[in-house]
Amino acid sequence: MKCKVCGAELKKAGELCNNCMNKLMKEQETRNDKKVYYTFKKKFVLGYELLKRIEPIGIMILLIVLLLSVDIRFWPYTLIIGGAYIIFGIIYMFYVKASVSKGICSLYRTKLVYNEGVFRKKIVEIPYSEIDEIYYSVGNMQKLFHLGTIMVKRKTRNLFERNFYIEPVKDIEKVFGKIEELLR
Ligand SMILES: [Zn+2]
- Protein residues placing their CB within 5 Å of the ion ligand 1: 3, 5-6, 8, 17, 19-20
Distance 152 CA to ligand 1 centre (A): 29
- The pTM of the full predicted model, rounded to 2 decimals, is 0.81
Q: Closest Cα to residue 102, out of 113, 117, 121?
A: 117
Tell me, what amino acid is at 36? V
Please give the mean pLDDT across all residues of the chain: 92
Distance 25 CA to ligand 1 centre (A): 13
CATH of domain 37-43+102-183: 2.30.29.30
Q: Write out pLDDT tens, residues 65-89.
A: 998 898 889 899 999 999 999 999 9
Distance 157 CA to ligand 1 centre (A): 21
User: Which residues face 41 on adjacent strands?
Assistant: 104
